[in-house]
């Protein structure tokens, strides 16, 4: 059964149609990759699903019930969490404090602190528990975004470009974490520009261009799709 | 609750200070006892304000509304309706809690920015002042005079300044411990994430409205109770003192100078600045009117410029650097 269903979602910002009639569904245990050129509407799609910017029309269902209008923090408690493309920092807290707050979603405080330390180790931030997120490198900030998501024990994670800006070697750690999470049954939807990463992780892909879904299929099929080549790969492959 | 809270509760320093402080009323001349009591009042108030202003980072100027409700309403209930002041204390605290919840809700519902929040809380405080001044039930502009304190505990009387000292000591300790408790509980984590980044807090599951309301209500209830006890000590319920924005500004000042957001910073600020202000006024008030304010102002500005995070972090740094401190002894490197 589908864990997450997006049905005819449209999002308007004034006159701008950022998403137009987008539909797809994500099965329990899947890794769905979402790709599309800059400004295609990928982040807007995540905001619409996760309650930060509800759709202008259409429906989003999580685990069979509509979640349109449900606040983001409630969705986190129900097991749906997103990461942010623009990494969110906290000025006066340590990374351990931030991840502990996320862990408090489902655990009492002492357990939450231990679990947060464990999660930081798991994403590769061991030893950086007492730094403030502001002072972390870009790579570490991205890993912190991942750690915050993990600490809430989600059933479904929306990852918005957690590998962007990293070198190939730096993506090893997050890729391993995503794989392992997925093995444990967590459903993953990820937006990524780094094609080699998404090609090896995704079990299925959705392509968005100018706010519309233009293709959907296995990674192997997607790279052969003429619309996709025109809209997306063309510019990248020529470069 | 993190174990750190129980460590503070069981700390010999805490109990040592309390045991040493308890006999002070018998030792101090009344003028100095008054300064100590006043300091404790402000320790309690600055600590209660810190929950909203420091931990949640919301500069609320509505604190005088809660202090004033605790003071003026409980007094009016006693004088006009004959309601026991203990009951009045509870009624005032409940009304303060409702006002606080309403302000927090308005802040959330209308997504007030920092400046709007400051201005709206100030407007509420001013409205509170106008209600008191315009409504004879609450004493109007001339205030209300409580009956003499004959020490009947059941009538909320503690026997003058000796009793007032112990009551204020208790309230100050309670307010500081509530700060310690919150910082070591989930609420402390939630408030700090909300302060640093409200949207990102929401994104990791923090119910922003619930915890903003909780912070405001806890802060207001404490302020209201302190207000009731303070007016009992003063005997005269003076609206220009108790429900004026000036008292809030003083509280914000003490908390900021001591160290916002920390459990002990606001208390430290009040313990240093209240006696300083009173002594300066006593010594210089007659010399040149306003001179003590001037010196006081210079001290405050100097502290804020030298240690922007407040005095507490400065003291902590000095403490770690004291001669013989193990943690900072330079590592001995073999040649
Ligand atoms: N809050 C907003 N108000 C107005 N327009 C917006 C808003 N958010 C996004 N947009 C517009 O919607 C369109 C889609 O933006 P979005 O950020 O979703 O793209 P994206 O696919 O995530 O791009 P990128 O790959 O650069 O991250 C863009 O034209 C953007 O300018
Ligand atoms: Mg984006």
Beta carbons of A36 and A208 less than 8 angstroms apart: yes
pLDDT digits (tens, 9 = 90+) for B167-186: 999 999 999 999 999 999 99
Quote the pLDDT of residue A238. Answer: 43
Task: Look at the block and give the residue holding tokens 């706010």.
Answer: A211
Among the listed ranges A201-215, B96-110, B304-318, which one has the minimum average pLDDT value?
Answer: B304-318
Which band of pLDDT confidence, cut at 50, 70 and 90, is reported for residue A148? very high
B86 found inside a domain: yes
Q: How many CA atoms lie within 13 A of B229 on its CB side?
A: 26
Q: How many CB atoms neighbour CB B16 within 10 A?
A: 10
Triad A10, A15, A16: Cα angle to 5°: 55
B51 found inside a domain: yes
B228 found inside a domain: yes
Which among A90, A100, A105 has CB closest to B200?
A90
Shortest alpha-carbon distance between residue B201 and chain A (Å): 8
Residues of A in contact with B2 (CB under 8 A): 109-110, 113
Shortest alpha-carbon distance between residue B10 and chain A (Å): 19
Whether A26 shows a pLDDT value over 70: the answer reads yes
Among the listed ranges A122-131, A183-192, A199-208, B278-287, which one has the minimum average pLDDT value?
Answer: B278-287
Burial A32-57 (b: 16+ CB within 10 A, else e): bbbbbbeebbbbbbbbbbbbbbbbee
Q: What ligand is nearest to the CA atom of residue A42? A: 1
Nearest protein CA to atom 6 of ligand 1, as residue? A13
Which band of pLDDT confidence, cut at 50, 70 and 90, is reported for residue A233? low
pLDDT digits (tens, 9 = 90+) for A172-227: 889 999 999 999 999 999 999 888 889 889 999 999 999 999 989 998 888 887 77
Q: Does the beta carbon of A44 lie inside 6 Å of ligand 1?
A: yes
Mutate to test the interface with B, among A47, A53, A71, A72 (most CBs of B within 10 A): A72
Beta carbons of B220 and B66 less than 8 angstroms apart: yes
Quote the pLDDT of residue A235. Answer: 54
Structural domains of chain A, with CATH: 2-238 (3.40.50.300)
- Distance from the CA of A16 to the center of ligand 1, in angstroms? 10
B16 found inside a domain: yes
Q: What share of chain A is helix, strand, coil (3-state, %, to 5)?
A: 40, 25, 35
Tokens, residue A100: 């502990």
Q: How many CB atoms neighbour CB A69 within 10 A?
A: 9
Shortest alpha-carbon distance between residue A52 and chain B (Å): 9
Quote the pLDDT of residue B326. Answer: 55
Shortest alpha-carbon distance between residue A85 and chain B (Å): 12
Tokens, residue B231: 């007016």
For the residues B132-158, what does the mean pLDDT come to?
92
The strand pairing partners of A57, in sequence order, are: A10
For the residues B81-109, what does the mean pLDDT come to?
96
Which among B184, B186, B261 has CB closest to A104?
B186
Query: Rounded distance, CA B266 to CA B43, Å?
Result: 7
Q: Does the beta carbon of A86 lie inside 6 Å of ligand 1?
A: no
Whether A45 shows a pLDDT value over 80: the answer reads yes
B256 found inside a domain: no
Q: Which domain covers residue B223, as residue numbers? A: 3-244
B176 found inside a domain: yes
Among the listed ranges A126-135, B102-111, B250-259, B323-332, which one has the minimum average pLDDT value?
Answer: B323-332
Which band of pLDDT confidence, cut at 50, 70 and 90, is reported for residue A3? very high
For the residues B66-95, what does the mean pLDDT come to?
97
Quote the pLDDT of residue A8. Answer: 96
Q: What total of structural domains would you count in chain B?
A: 1
What is each CA distance from B52 to A98, B124, B289, in whole angstroms? 19, 16, 35
B167 found inside a domain: yes
Tokens, residue A30: 């899947």
* B3/A contact by beta carbon, under 8 A: yes
Residues of A in contact with B206 (CB under 8 A): 73, 101
Tokens, residue B291: 């001179």
Q: Does the beta carbon of A167 lie inside 6 Å of ligand 1?
A: no
Quote the pLDDT of residue A234. Answer: 56
Whether B301 shows a pLDDT value over 50: the answer reads yes
Which band of pLDDT confidence, cut at 50, 70 and 90, is reported for residue A239? very low
Q: What share of chain B is helix, strand, coil (3-state, %, to 5)?
A: 75, 0, 25
B41 found inside a domain: yes
Cα torsion through B128, B130, B136, B142, rounded to 10: 110
The strand pairing partners of A190, in sequence order, are: A33, A159
Which band of pLDDT confidence, cut at 50, 70 and 90, is reported for residue B212? very high
- Distance from the CA of A42 to the center of ligand 2, in angstroms? 5
Whether B327 shows a pLDDT value over 70: the answer reads no
Name the pairing type of β-strands A204-209 and A212-217.
Answer: antiparallel
Q: Do B190 and A101 touch (CB under 8 A)?
A: yes
Whether A25 shows a pLDDT value over 70: the answer reads yes
Which band of pLDDT confidence, cut at 50, 70 and 90, is reported for residue B265? very high
Which band of pLDDT confidence, cut at 50, 70 and 90, is reported for residue A119? very high
Q: What ligand is nearest to the CA atom of residue A36? A: 1
Q: How many CB atoms neighbour CB B246 within 10 A?
A: 11
């Amino acid at each position: 059964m589908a864990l997450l269903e997006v049905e005819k979602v449209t999002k308007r910002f004034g006159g701008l149609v950022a998403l137009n009639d987008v539909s797809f569904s994500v099965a329990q245990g899947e890794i769905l990759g979402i790709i599309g050129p800059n400004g295609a509407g990928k982040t807007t799609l995540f905001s619409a699903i996760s309650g930060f910017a509800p759709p202008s029309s259409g429906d989003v269902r999580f685990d069979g019930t509509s979640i349109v209008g449900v606040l983001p923090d409630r969705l986190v408690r129900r097991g749906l969490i997103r990461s942010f493309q623009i990494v969110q920092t906290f000025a006066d807290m340590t990374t351990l404090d931030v991840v502990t707050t996320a862990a408090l979603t489902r655990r009492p405080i002492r357990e939450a602190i231990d679990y947060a330390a464990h999660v930081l180790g798991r994403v590769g931030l061991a030893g950086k528990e007492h730094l403030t997120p502001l002072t972390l490198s870009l790579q570490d900030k991205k890993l912190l975004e991942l750690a915050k998501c993990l600490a809430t024990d989600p059933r479904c994670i929306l990852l918005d470009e957690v590998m962007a800006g990293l070198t190939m070697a730096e993506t090893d750690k997050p890729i391993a974490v995503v794989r392992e999470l997925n093995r444990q049954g967590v459903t993953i939807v990820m937006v990524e520009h780094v094609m080699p990463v998404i090609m090896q992780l995704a079990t299925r892909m959705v392509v968005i261009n100018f706010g519309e879904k233009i293709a959907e299929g296995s990674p192997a099929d997607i790279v052969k799709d003429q619309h996709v080549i025109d809209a997306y790969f063309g510019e990248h492959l020529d470069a | 609750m993190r174990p750190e809270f129980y460590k503070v509760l069981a700390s010999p320093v805490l109990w040592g200070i309390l045991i040493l402080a308890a006999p002070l009323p018998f030792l101090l001349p009344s003028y100095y006892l008054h300064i100590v009591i006043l300091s404790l009042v402000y320790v309690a108030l600055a600590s209660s304000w810190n929950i909203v202003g420091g931990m949640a980072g919301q500069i609320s100027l509505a604190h005088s509304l809660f202090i004033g409700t605790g003071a003026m309403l409980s007094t009016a209930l006693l004088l006009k309706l004959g309601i026991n002041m203990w009951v009045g204390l509870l009624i005032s605290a409940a009304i303060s809690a409702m006002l606080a919840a309403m302000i927090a809700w308005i802040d959330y519902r209308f997504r007030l920015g920092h400046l709007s929040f400051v201005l709206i809380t100030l407007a509420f405080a001013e409205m509170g002042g106008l209600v008191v001044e315009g409504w004879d039930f609450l004493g109007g502009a001339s205030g209300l005079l409580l009956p003499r304190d004959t020490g009947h505990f059941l009538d909320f009387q503690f026997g003058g300044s000796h009793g007032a000292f112990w009551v204020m000591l208790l309230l100050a300790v309670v307010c500081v411990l509530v700060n310690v408790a919150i910082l070591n509980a989930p609420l402390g984590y939630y408030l700090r994430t909300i302060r640093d980044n409200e949207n990102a807090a929401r994104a990791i599951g923090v119910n922003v409205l619930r915890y903003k309301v909780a912070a405001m209500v806890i802060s207001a209830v404490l302020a209201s109770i302190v207000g009731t006890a303070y007016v009992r000590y003063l005997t005269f319920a003076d609206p220009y003192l108790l429900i004026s924005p000036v008292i809030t500004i003083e509280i914000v000042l003490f908390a900021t100078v001591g160290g916002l957001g920390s459990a002990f910073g606001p208390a430290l600020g009040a313990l240093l600045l209240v006696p300083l202000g009173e002594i300066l006024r006593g010594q210089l008030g007659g010399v040149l009117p306003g001179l003590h304010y001037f010196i006081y102002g210079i001290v405050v500005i100097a502290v804020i410029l030298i240690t922007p995070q407040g005095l507490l972090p400065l003291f902590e740094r000095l403490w770690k650097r004291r001669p013989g401190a193990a943690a900072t002894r330079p590592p001995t490197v073999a040649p």
